[in-house]
Structure 1
Amino acid sequence: MLYPIAIEPGDDTHAFGVIVPDLPGCFSAGDTLEEAMRNVREAIDFHLEWISQDGECVPAASQVQDHANKPEFRGFVWAVVKVGVASGRSQATIPHAVMQAVVDGVTPVKAWREYLNLGHADVAGRLGISQSAYSQQEASDKLRKSSLEKIAGALGLALEQLDF
């Protein structure tokens, strides 16, 4: 998933500020652009870990153009941060409740949906498929990689969190 970030340019006396509009309350800063980028990746990791531990749904990433013209971001520079296995620990985390459900015989897809407190209709809507089609996918323990990737994206997860 690619989260857009808004970077407030810094200078010799002001830090670079970074805001992640899709993750309310997630922001960071750094004395240099490089430091600000490192810090925002860490902030995103901690923010997503906090969201998942709190049992909340991880917000889907939007597009830069969804935020770029908002007055609060006037003068900001835009970039995207890839959120996935390469960016940090939150994407590789599988909560104990999910693991226990899988050990108890539930598919990883169903375990995650229930952990995130989503209904079949919620996930089916995110995928753009019927509820019955999604229910069949959720019940299967032999999904194609492409299906797993789509479901992971709809749930705000890394593929590795579903394919274990």
Structure 2
Amino acid sequence: MLYPIAVLKSNDDKVAHAILFPDVQNGATCCDELSDMHQMAHEFIDLHFEGLAEDGEPIPLPQDFNKHLANPEYDGCMWAWIDVDLSKYDMRTHKVNITLPQFLITKIDEKVNAHKSLYKSRSNYLAQLAMADLA
């Protein structure tokens, strides 16, 4: 999904360039070099959207670009777009079929049963391990 970013270029070498996200409430970051604007924009959007997904909040979708062009808040800005893969912020659960040795399944179940306050189920245990490993 393409998201527009408005870049307010600084004429002062000591002041960073502002990167504004019109479709993200209070969305802004900055970069020292314009060549870094896409990287900084992606880092901001990834962190922000991950937080929204973890909190169960909806991910904002891009609005009609003409709406942003007509907004005087963005007068004097340069425009660019970043491509965002929204599927990685989809926190809905999906059933998957995995194959594990019976011995391992038994050990996992023993661990889950012994630590009910930590793990809700076998799936929850495996998801927590995966999240910790991928973090």
The residue aligned with 1:52 is 53
The residue aligned with 1:67 is 68
Query: Gaps spanning 5+ residues in structure 2: where?
Result: 98-135
Matched to 2:3, the amino acid is Y
The residue aligned with 1:3 is 3
User: Offset at 1:58?
Assistant: 1.0
Which is helix-richer, 1 or 2? 1
User: Offset at 1:64?
Assistant: 2.5
- Identity, in percent, stands at 30
| 3-state secondary structure, aligned to 2:41 | helix
How do 1:90-129 and structure 2 match up within 5 A?
A: 91-95=87-91, 98-99=93-94, 102-103=95-96
The RMSD of aligned alpha carbons is 2.1
* CA deviation vs aligned residue, 1:75-134 (integer Å, no higher than 9, x gap): 1111111101xxxxx743553x513xx359xxxxxxxxxxxxxxxxxxxxxxxxxxxxxx
Matched to 1:77, the amino acid is M
> TM-score by structure 1 length?
0.52
Query: Gaps spanning 5+ residues in structure 1: where?
Result: 85-89, 105-164
Q: State which structure, 1 or 2, has the greater radius of gyration over its C-alpha atoms.
A: 2
> TM-score by structure 2 length?
0.62
Quick one: distance in 2 between partners of 1:6 and 1:94? 26
